[in-house]
A = this chain, B = another copy of it.
Amino acid sequence: MIKVAINGYGTIGKRVADAVAAQKDMKIIGVSKTRPSAEAFIAQQRGYPLYLADLAKKSSCENLGLKVSGNVEDMIKQADIVIDATPGDVGAKNKPVYERLGVKAIFQGGEEHEVAGFSFNSDCNYKDAIGRQFARVVSCNTTGLCRIIQAMDKEYGVAKVRAVMVRRGSDPGEVKKGPIDAVVLNPVTIPSHHGPDVLTVLPHIQIVTMAMIVPTTMMHMHAIQMDLAKQGSRERVIEIIERHPRMGLVRKGTGITSTAELKEYAMDLGRCRADLWENGIFEESISVAGKELYLFQAIHQEADVVVENVDAIRAMMGTVKDPAVSVRMTNEAMGLKAL
């Protein structure tokens, strides 16, 4: 059993915790919070030992009925590997602790590539992660791009990618963030950081990304165009997506044309937290004209990296060498079946 600690039990951390707990070869030995919160009560309900960044908050937790098992270092010392799901740029500050304690750690996409020196995606470079002390699971948008680009690149070769990312303004529970009624260019400059971030995983790809933020909490939407190296076919692209373990077809027959309906569908399917761990690619949008491919894909900002974190654990621990085996183990334990 791989002993996993979750440093930062928030939007991503709580999902990775449940994903890890569902695996037969892993277990959660603790999760950390900086202060009492709704999520701390959830950790307790799930039976995850709660650790605090600062034990000065211990009594305020205990007064609320929250049991505290120690501080973050106490937690890390028991772990084989730490999922660092702290807010952006905090991971970089935590790294020296992981180094000092000699523990493996996985950072999230809010950190710079250089923090880990290696950026991970299960489809693209699983084997390169084997044995590493540090890795960074790329952001939700980059993960979604890497999956579809890698799949098309393997089949056709990809000469150029142009992608427009229409990003949700906040996660559902982040009630202080906007915008309320605006499209915000973020950044105004082109390319956005997403293109270069794809290169940390797929350095040979030519890609230009443009990004904006809109007033929704649901999912990101990608409008993607690719120049393929050879003539493609719509049927073959659909087939590749259908067979891919982390891409799902949003089928015409469902009548789904929006992120909100897709999330409702995931919820109705009984998915934990209505999570879509896979790219949601709209079947009807897939268009191939000669060497050009166009499609829309929805990316669940809170979810697609969760399964990648689980695979990264196995790769870095070296317990499973074959990416396909790890992906299958992860997916089965979480109930990820075709949409």
Contacts of A166 in B (CB 8 A): 164, 166, 183, 212, 214
In whole angstroms, how far apart are the Cα atoms of A191 and B175 in the complex? 22
Determine whether A331 belongs to the interface, using a CB cutoff of 8 Å to chain B.
no
Q: Which of A123-131, A237-245, A281-289 contacts B (4 or more CB under 8 A)?
A: A281-289
Interchain CB contact under 8 A, B179 and A179: no
Interchain CB contact under 8 A, A180 and B285: no
In whole angstroms, how far apart are the Cα atoms of A263 and B179 in the complex? 14
Interchain CB contact under 8 A, B181 and A214: no
| CB under 8 Å from chain B, chain A span 234-275 | 252-261, 263-265, 267-270, 272-274
Interchain CB contact under 8 A, A188 and B264: no
- Most B-side CB within 10 Å, residue of A170, A188, A218, A274: A188
Report which of B221, B253, B263, B298 forms a contact with A172, defined as CB distance below 8 A. Answer: B263
- Most B-side CB within 10 Å, residue of A164, A189, A265, A298: A164
Interchain CB contact under 8 A, A37 and B259: no
Determine whether A103 belongs to the interface, using a CB cutoff of 8 Å to chain B.
no
Contacts of A221 in B (CB 8 A): 183, 185, 212
In whole angstroms, how far apart are the Cα atoms of A164 and B180 in the complex? 22
CB distance from A79 to the nearest CB of B (A): 23
Digitize A181-198: 1 where CB-to-B-CB distance is under 8 Å, 0 elsewhere.
Answer: 111111111110000000
The size of the chain A interface, using a CB distance under 8 A, is 76
Contacts of A183 in B (CB 8 A): 166, 214, 216, 218-219, 221, 258-259, 298
Determine whether A159 belongs to the interface, using a CB cutoff of 8 Å to chain B.
no
A–B complex contacts, Cβ < 8 Å, 27 sampled: A37-B254, A38-B264, A164-B210, A166-B212, A166-B214, A169-B178, A172-B264, A173-B264, A175-B184, A175-B260, A176-B178, A177-B177, A177-B178, A180-B216, A181-B215, A182-B216, A182-B218, A185-B221, A186-B257, A188-B284, A188-B285, A190-B287, A191-B287, A208-B225, A210-B285, A212-B296, A215-B216
